[in-house]
Structure 1
Amino acid sequence: MERVNHFIPEGVEDIHCNVYEIKENTITNIKSIFKSFGYRQILTPTFEYYDLFSEIEGTIHKDEMFKFIDGNGKILVLRPDVTTPIARMVATNYKSCTGYLKFSYATNIFRIHDEQNGKKREFTQAGIEYLGNDQPDSDAEVVALAIKSLINCGLQDFQIDLGQARYFKGLIKESGIAEKIQGQIRSFIEEKNFAALQTILGELNIDEFFKNALLEIPYLYGRPEETIKEAEKFVCNEEMKTSLNNLKDVYSILKDYGYEKYLSIDFGMIHHIDYYTGVIFKGYVNHYGRTVLSGGRYDHLTKQYGCYMPATGFGLNIDALLEVFGMYKMNKDFACSTDYLILYEKDNRKNGLQIAEQLREKGFIVESDLCEKNIKNHIINANDRNIKEIVQICGENLKRIDLRNNKVYKNTVSQFFKGLKNLEIFASIH
């Protein structure tokens, strides 16, 4: 048995039927929300050219990509991200579009992660991309959809942290700090490593105003109105002023959605700062240590493929969501089930198969099988498969074994179907 475990590579897993059903239902639920807002589902290739991603700053690091060589010697990568391929698709196929575009997706992502940090190397992500609209309303809609997705999955104890990429960009640009140092400062702020941040800033020959501002950024976190008010103290150029006004607008619109209670502000959220150009956000569930969703505005991405189009979007980690379900014991009693098992002999096979199909057309989940001798093994298997009722064809009559209460009934076929009107569908396929 130990040898068998080695057949599965690190960072991937088998998904068994009950969990898979929960996962599929979750994806279907989220996709229906996206669709209700007018987002149209698309799918990009499972693998793309490595060059598509290698030149994009601030996104997926090259060491996190699964790379391989095709027959022509070209370097390909398994899909490490969905936003970049969508930007490529838009720049290639929608150059003449003068309006906005709304796309949604639910697909698998592949990244090389250190197994010790608990992240999977293959995971499912669902998300949206809203292109061609640079107004605060589009940013707010994307954040609102992220919140609604979590609510519709049954979660309430979560928080969305909002940030603004241009606020930090404006400050660091005004400070005159060399680019090679900026990366370190960003990392220390993102990690809230106050000691290291203080040390590196102490070594720089810059105005005390900027040292104090950069030291304060990790603390600019909390309730929106109060945090934005504190951030106004460090505004020193038009870019920072514009970014704060934009964040205020987005927050105000989200209050109109009725989602104020889920929101906080974090100006220290500056990861991938080169990639994002406006409002950014991350979603956290209480007591779960990692983000379940993230997104933001990235207006310059399509331009790198020859067609400028402002854009915003987010991605939701479905596998992380399932871990949250497990942590909170949501769906713990769920099990795949079958409504009816139709058993027939060779002589009445046609009748049995017709009855099974009639039941399926009514929305029931139905299995059928040949039963020439003892029914005992079918009963044992039915219990293992969580089958609610066995229907045995006995000439013109039916023998029904209700496995929920261990009762046996006899009916004609017409009586059986007439009685279905009063029965509950236990595991409808619709």
Structure 2
Amino acid sequence: MAYAINTPEGTRDRLFAECRERRQVQTALTTLFQRRSYAEVSTPEVEFYDLFLQSGNPMPQESMLKIIDRSGKIMVMRPDCTTPIARVAATKLKAVPLPQRLYYDQTVFRSGQEHKGGSSEIAQCGVELIGAAGRKADLEMVAMAVDALCACGLKQFHIELGHVGFFRDLAGRMDMPAEAMEQMRVLIEGKNFAALGDMLEPYAGQSASTALRRLSRLFGGAEVLDEAERLT
């Protein structure tokens, strides 16, 4: 009996033109980052699982690819770039003056739902602005996002802005278990309207329930800010 030699689910080979196009995008982005005085950092592909628990990373553990080292400690294939870079900033870069402008060009690994066709290997190329606050820092990040898309050749796109503090304030008014709150956050982030409505049904009597139910649909133009103000 012959067996097909395939790649693991969620991975695939990239050949020729796709490799060239991917490299062109990476070069365009990293050139932009360097021109804006961002310095490259690279973190290991494997991190301790505890790092993501202690950091409060909202990524569910079932989406992380886990391995066990020789001592029996649980490790994960790097599921995002921000948490490891925060580790580097808090240790090896703690003596470096703020703000710190860092960029990365790495692959993250995530375990998607079986047979859903998602990718387990995701190329990420981005920046972290550490130790800067206020509107000027926000403007720098938004401008960088716009310029990055333009550098990749895009001409028509939308930038979606949000603030996690709005969700945290509303969620903090709810009397619900921490597990349910995390589930609610995932549903809102994924704009899963139907499931969110079903989940909040038992909490309909709480004052913040209506605003949270509406939160997954609260996107659009500047008029959304007026609606958000009315909801709160």
Same fold (TM over 0.5): yes
Aligned to 1:22: 21
The 3-state SS of whatever aligns with 1:53 is helix
Q: Given the superposition, is the C-alpha separation of residues 201 and 107 from structure 1 closer, same or farther in structure 2, using an over 3 Å criterion? A: closer
1:177 CA displacement: 4.5
- Counterpart residue identity of residue 211, structure 2: A
Aligned to 1:81: 80
- Counterpart residue identity of residue 229, structure 2: E
1:229 CA displacement: 1.3
Tell which structure's C-alpha radius of gyration is larger.
1
How many angstroms apart in 2 are the aligned matches of 1:9 and 1:200? 35
Aligned to 1:130: 129
1:178 CA displacement: 4.7
Q: Are residues 1:50 and 2:46 paired?
A: no
1:39 CA displacement: 0.6
Aligned to 1:220: 218
8 Å contact kept, 2:57–2:83: no
How many angstroms apart in 2 are the aligned matches of 1:202 and 1:68? 39
1:165 CA displacement: 0.9
Aligned to 1:39: 38
1:103 CA displacement: 0.6
- Counterpart residue identity of residue 212, structure 2: L
How many angstroms apart in 2 are the aligned matches of 1:34 and 1:228? 31
Identity of paired residues, percent? 34
Q: Given the superposition, is the C-alpha separation of residues 227 and 143 from structure 1 closer, same or farther in structure 2, using an over 3 Å criterion? A: same
How many angstroms apart in 1 are the aligned matches of 2:209 and 2:199? 10
Aligned to 1:280: none
How many angstroms apart in 2 are the aligned matches of 1:202 and 1:63? 26
1:180 CA displacement: 4.6
The 3-state SS of whatever aligns with 2:72 is coil
1:126 CA displacement: 0.5
- Counterpart residue identity of residue 28, structure 1: T
Q: How does 1:71-110 map to 2 (within 5 A)?
A: 71-110=70-109
Name the structure with the higher strand share: 1
How many angstroms apart in 2 are the aligned matches of 1:21 and 1:60? 32
Task: Describe the superposition over 1:182-224 as per-residue Cα deviations: whole angstroms up to 9, x where unpaired.
Answer: 33443443444445544544433635x5343233323322112
Match among 209, 230, 233 for residue 230 of structure 2: 233
Task: Describe the superposition over 1:386-414 as per-residue Cα deviations: whole angstroms up to 9, x where unpaired.
Answer: xxxxxxxxxxxxxxxxxxxxxxxxxxxxx
Q: Given the superposition, is the C-alpha separation of residues 152 and 93 from structure 1 closer, same or farther in structure 2, using an over 3 Å criterion? A: same
Aligned to 1:148: 147
Structure 2 stretches of 5 or more lacking a match? Answer: none
- Counterpart residue identity of residue 230, structure 1: E
Aligned to 1:158: 157
Q: Given the superposition, is the C-alpha separation of residues 71 and 92 from structure 1 closer, same or farther in structure 2, using an over 3 Å criterion? A: same
How many angstroms apart in 1 are the aligned matches of 2:86 and 2:101? 12
Aligned to 2:110: 111
8 Å contact kept, 2:204–2:210: no
How many angstroms apart in 2 are the aligned matches of 1:105 and 1:185? 30
Q: How many aligned positions are there?
A: 232
The 3-state SS of whatever aligns with 1:126 is strand
How many angstroms apart in 2 are the aligned matches of 1:74 and 1:175? 36
The 3-state SS of whatever aligns with 2:128 is strand
How many angstroms apart in 2 are the aligned matches of 1:67 and 1:123? 16
Q: Given the superposition, is the C-alpha separation of residues 5 and 157 from structure 1 closer, same or farther in structure 2, using an over 3 Å criterion? A: farther
8 Å contact kept, 2:100–2:129: yes
Structure 1 stretches of 5 or more lacking a match? Answer: 236-430
The 3-state SS of whatever aligns with 2:162 is strand
8 Å contact kept, 2:68–2:75: yes
Compute the TM-score of the two structures, normalised by the length of structure 2. 0.86
